[in-house]
Structure formats: structure tokens, C-alpha cells
């Protein structure tokens, strides 16, 4: 920031020299003395604002992509708009998915109607069994009174045994048929649940609260799964990415409180507190746009400093840091 002030100061000097061309011709020593004095003041001013590192502000951005394929029927957002988490901002055409779900529900209903009614199917055999059991009791009494033969009683016992086996076989067959239909219905129900999930994904729901930075899609455009719709970032907390030299690495630690300075627009600085949130474990060559305290440092370490934002800080804004 201080170099910004110096540049402005030298611009004023240049304009002054052009306006005092005549004075320079007749009094060159006076003009040179004036310029030298101004330069000393500029250097003195620069010395009052020595910062340890500098960088630019950024935010944690999220690109929201479509989770469905089709025509965008609604997309209620604009660049710069603030969105809340879980807010529905639009939806994609879901008519075909809805019709497919209706078809599956109809198939489930048709299969359900084919399930056998076990009670009705076994009623006839169970009634025959009851009849034979009564006949067995009556014949048994007759045998005791020598009014019926033992063979007649044995024949009734055989019919009872046969009916019981028929009932068990019928019950087993009905159970197998019912289980098979239930499995088919369950498979269709899973497909219906999948369609429900796809229908829910047709709703464009904002997953994080923040400010819309860029809008990539418009209403009536065709989108696809994974195609970006908009880019959003939470600007309530900004990140100042700075680079420090190896000699400064020992002066900084995670969660350390540092001073963050930004231009206040009036030739001065606005100072606030920041917190060191991340320190790179790998050195890299100094980016061309970054100035470090030691300009001769070839290898630097990236550092992220989180700063609470009251609306003052913008993405790309320049900032400087004092570690102590």
C-alpha cells in the first residue's frame, strides 16, 4: 500500500516539474533541492509502513452443477444475490420422470392384484378336512358299538391324512407364488424410489449460503448432469493469501492472530485482525505479482489468513500483513 502513496507522490512531483519549467531553467539548484527533499519525505513515509507480506483476498467458492438432465424451467437467481442454504432456486423439467413413475405404480398395482388369497384357496380343502374329521368321530363311535367295521375307520383316517398333505402342498405353492410376486413388487418399488430421487434432483436447491458470483445458465436452456449452473461464495469470511520467505516461516503458526492492512481510499490504511488458517508445507517460486519482505527470496510458502468481512473486503482486493 505504501508504494501506492509513493507513486502518487512522484506523479505530483512530475506535474510540478512540468509546471515549473521556467524555474528549472533559471534556478536548477532550487528545483533539485525541492525534488530531493520530497524524495526523502517519501522514503520516510515508506519506512513507517513496513509490512511482512502481501497478497490478495479470495473466497471459498463453490460451483453448483445440475443433478438432472432436461430443460431449465425456472432459475430464480442473479449475480450478486445472496442465497440461503437449502433454498430452492429453480427446477428442471421432470415430466418424463413423473410419467415413468406412474407407469411403475400401475405395474405394482397389477402385480398386487395377482397375489393369491391363501384363505380362499384353502377354504375348500379345509372344509373337506373338517367333514372327514366329523365322519371319523362318528365312525369311531359306531365301531365301539360294533355297528361299523375297523376298515371303514381306517379309510377315513387315510382320507384325513391325504387332505392334510394336500392342504400343506397348496399352502406351500401359494406361499411360493406370493413370495415371487412380492419380490417383483419390491423390485418395482426400488425403481420408483430411484425415480423419486431423480425427481427431487430436478429441484435446484442451493447447498450453501453465500453470494452468487457468476451465473452460467438461463431459463429454457437444456442442462445435463454435472453441467455448472452458477458459482457461489460465502463472503462473510474472506481469505487473504500471502507468501512468506523461509526466514519468516518460524515467525508464524496456525491460529496466530495477525494484523491485516488494506487501503482505506484516503491515502491511509484500514487495519483489522486476521487468523492464520493454513500454512503450506511446500515451498514454491515467488509469484510475479507477489511482493515479500525480502524481495531476493526465490522460494516462498503460501499462507491463508481468514478475515471477518463486514462488506469492506472484495475478491481480488490487495492486502498486507504484519506478523508481529
Q: What percent of the chain has pLDDT over 90?
A: 59
Which is higher by pLDDT, 36 or 297? 297
Q: What is the grid cell recorded at 315?
A: 475478491
First to last CA, the chain: 18
Higher pLDDT, 266 or 104: 104
| Structural domain harbouring 144 | 96-200
Q: Residues near 154 by Cβ (< 8 Å), separated by ≥ 6?
A: none
- What is the C-alpha to C-alpha distance for residues 164 and 256, in angstroms, rounded to an integer? 84
Q: Residue range 112-134: average pLDDT?
A: 90
* Cα 2 to the center of its chain, rounded Å: 41
CA pair distance 143, 283, nearest whole angstrom: 107
- Rounded CA-CA distance 104/33 in Å is 92
Q: Percent of the chain scored above 70 by pLDDT?
A: 81
For residue 29, pLDDT beyond 50: no
Rounded alpha-carbon distances, angstroms, from residue 117 to 106, 114, 127, 146, 178: 20, 9, 16, 44, 9
Reported as half-sphere exposure (CB side, CA atoms, 13 A), residue 22 has a value of 1
Residues 141 and 192 in one domain: yes
Indicate if the pLDDT at residue 180 is higher than 90.
yes
Residue 88 sits in the same domain as residue 104: no
Residues 224 and 100 in one domain: no
Q: Is the pLDDT of residue 54 over 60?
A: yes
- The string of pLDDT tens digits covering residues 236-286 is 999 999 999 888 888 999 999 999 999 988 888 899 999 999 999 888 886
Averaged over 11-26, what is the pLDDT?
A: 49
How far apart CA 11 and CA 7 sit, in angstroms, is 6
Residue 222, SS3? Answer: strand
Residue range 57-68: mean pLDDT, rounded: 96
The reply to whether 67 and 135 lie within a common domain is no
pLDDT value for 297:
59
Question: Confidence band (pLDDT; 50, 70, 90) for 78?
Answer: very high
Q: 206-244 pLDDT, tens per residue?
A: 999 999 999 999 999 999 999 999 999 999 999 999 999
139 Ramachandran zone, left/alpha/beta (phi>0; psi -120 to 50): alpha
CATH of the domain at 226: 2.40.50.100
pLDDT tier for residue 288 given thresholds of 50, 70 and 90: low
Q: What is the pLDDT of residue 62?
A: 96
Same domain (yes/no): 115, 191: yes
Q: Tell me, yes or no, whether 181 lies in a domain.
A: yes
Query: Is residue 164's pLDDT more than 50?
Result: yes
Q: Which residues pair with 222 in a beta bridge?
A: 71
Instruction: Label residue 9 exposed, middle or buried (CB < 10 Å: 0-12, 13-18, 19+).
Output: middle
CB 263, CB 270: distance < 8 Å:
yes
Do 162 and 208 sit in the same domain of this protein? no
In a domain, 278, yes or no: no
**Residues 183 and 207 grouped into a single domain:** no
Is there a single domain that holds both residue 120 and residue 76?
Answer: no
Does 152 share its domain with 209? no
> Of the candidates 221, 233, 235, 234, which has an alpha carbon nearest to the alpha carbon of residue 90?
221
DSSP-assigned letter for residue 268 = S
Q: 3-class DSSP state for residue 313?
A: coil
Assigned domain for 186 exists: yes
Total count of domains within the chain? 3
Amino acid at each position: 500500500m505504501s508504494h501506492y502513496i509513493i507513486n502518487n507522490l512522484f506523479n505530483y512531483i512530475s506535474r510540478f516539474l512540468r509546471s515549473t519549467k521556467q524555474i528549472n531553467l533559471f534556478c536548477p539548484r532550487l528545483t533539485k533541492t525541492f525534488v530531493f527533499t520530497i524524495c526523502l519525505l517519501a522514503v520516510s513515509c515508506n519506512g513507517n509502513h513496513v509490512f511482512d507480506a502481501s497478497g490478495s483476498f479470495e473466497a471459498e467458492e463453490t460451483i453448483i452443477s445440475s443433478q438432472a438432465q432436461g430443460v431449465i424451467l425456472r432459475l430464480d437467481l442473479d449475480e450478486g444475490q445472496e442465497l440461503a442454504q437449502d433454498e430452492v432456486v429453480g427446477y428442471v423439467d421432470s415430466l418424463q420422470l413423473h410419467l415413468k413413475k406412474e407407469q411403475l405404480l400401475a405395474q405394482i398395482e397389477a402385480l398386487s392384484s395377482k397375489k393369491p388369497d391363501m384363505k380362499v384357496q384353502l377354504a375348500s380343502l379345509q372344509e373337506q378336512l373338517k367333514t372327514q374329521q366329523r365322519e371319523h368321530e362318528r365312525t369311531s363311535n359306531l365301531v365301539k358299538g360294533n355297528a361299523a367295521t375297523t376298515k371303514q375307520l381306517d379309510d377315513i383316517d387315510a382320507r384325513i391324512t391325504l387332505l392334510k398333505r394336500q392342504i400343506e402342498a397348496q399352502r406351500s405353492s401359494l406361499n411360493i407364488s406370493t413370495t415371487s410376486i412380492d419380490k417383483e413388487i419390491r423390485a418395482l418399488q426400488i425403481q420408483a424410489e430411484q425415480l423419486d430421487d431423480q425427481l427431487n434432483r430436478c429441484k435446484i436447491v442451493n447447498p450453501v449460503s453465500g453470494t452468487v458470483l457468476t451465473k452460467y445458465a438461463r431459463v429454457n436452456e437444456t442442462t445435463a448432469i454435472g453441467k455448472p449452473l452458477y458459482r457461489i461464495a460465502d463472503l462473510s469470511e474472506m481469505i487473504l493469501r500471502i507468501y512468506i520467505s523461509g526466514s519468516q516461516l518460524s515467525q508464524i503458526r496456525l491460529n496466530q492472530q495477525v494484523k491485516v492492512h488494506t487501503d482505506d481510499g484516503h491515502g491511509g490504511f484500514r487495519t483489522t485482525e486476521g487468523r492464520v488458517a493454513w500454512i503450506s508445507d511446500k515451498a514454491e517460486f515467488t509469484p510475479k505479482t507477489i511482493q515479500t519482505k525480502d524481495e531476493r527470496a526465490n522460494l516462498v510458502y503460501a499462507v491463508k489468513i481468514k478475515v471477518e468481512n463486514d462488506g469492506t473486503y472484495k475478491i481480488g482486493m490487495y492486502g498486507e500483513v504484519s506478523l508481529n
